[in-house]
Amino acid sequence: MRKNVVAGNWKMNKTLQEGVALATELKEALAGVEVKCGVVVAPPLTHVASVVEAVKGSVIGVSAQNCAEKEKGAYTGEVSAEMIQSTGAGFVILGHSERREYYGETSEIIKNKIQLVLANGLTPIVCFGEVLAQREAEKHFDVVKSQVQEAMFDFSAADFGKMILAYEPVWAIGTGKTASADQAQEIHAFVRGIVAEKYGKQVADDCTILYGGSCNPANAKELFSNPDVDGGLIGGASLKAADFMAIIQAF
Ligand code: PGA
């Protein structure tokens, strides 16, 4: 069954204390409210275990923003999928455009990370999306197709079914320039189509595809009302409990 999800990507923001306070505020705001979607927060890695503790007993799931490409060993500064799993977190964001752009993450690396995340029973939230020049050159469908195929199509249907997809047009991330509801729907339907070609209609129908890129309380409802947009990956607007709550309540 396809699930609606709203996930907050805190990126490199908030101290540990501020992060725990935000998670606690969110937990309190969600208590007693009817929530019609999955809710996930992705704090910095240093905060993950404490945030897991802070949100216990609530509907909030916790995600890391990245993990190592290796299983374990002499990789100074890296944190493995197994370590993330041991904190009680349930998700890992992979292939975010900031990781692709600033840290040289290739589709091959993202694929290896997905493998490790799945092997540890975690849910990967896999991001993809075109940059502005690619959209202007009308190459966005090709770009999205190869990113999805290269990182996600070497898995069994059962493993693919465990992934959450996130379309994030790079030109919309942190820019205040949101994709229009039609632009989002167009790409999401296209992605669902290539998933159907590869894994069949049922897997495609069940697949959760989030939109990310300047999603906020004012535009969330319109974006989420599209048949193929199953929620959002929220950056800036996830840093304030009230804004994030308003986006959750757009469902
Ligand atoms: P934004 O970020 O909502 O601040 O645009 C989204 C993301 O990068 O996941």
Cβ-Cβ contacts under 8 Å for 149 (sequence gap 6 or more): 194, 198
Q: Report the catalytic residues.
A: 96, 168
User: CA dihedral defined by 143, 145, 149, 152, rounded to 10 degrees?
Assistant: 90
- The answer, yes or no, to whether any atom of ligand 1 lies below 6 A from the CB of 236, is yes
- The answer, yes or no, to whether any atom of ligand 1 lies below 6 A from the CB of 177, is no
* pLDDT for res 1: 83
| pLDDT digit string, tens, across residues 199-227 | 999 999 999 999 999 999 999 999 999 99
| pLDDT digit string, tens, across residues 125-140 | 999 999 999 999 999 9
- What is the tally of structural domains in the chain? 1
| pLDDT digit string, tens, across residues 36-68 | 999 999 999 999 999 999 999 999 999 999 999
**Mean pLDDT of the chain, nearest integer:** 97
CA distance 130 to 138: 10
Nearest protein CA to atom 6 of ligand 1, as residue: 235
Give the ligand 1 atom nearest the CA of 98.
Answer: 8
CA atoms within 13 A on the CB side of 118: 18
CB count within 10 Å of CB 116 equals 22
150 CB-contact burial (10 Å; exposed 0-12 / middle 13-18 / buried 19+): middle
CATH number, domain at 36? 3.20.20.70
Q: Which of 6, 102, 170, 173 to mutate to test the pocket of ligand 1 (most atoms within 8 A of CB)?
A: 173
Residue 32 has pLDDT above 90, yes or no: no
Residue 178 has pLDDT above 90, yes or no: no
What's the domain range around 211?
5-248
Q: What is the pTM of this model?
A: 0.97
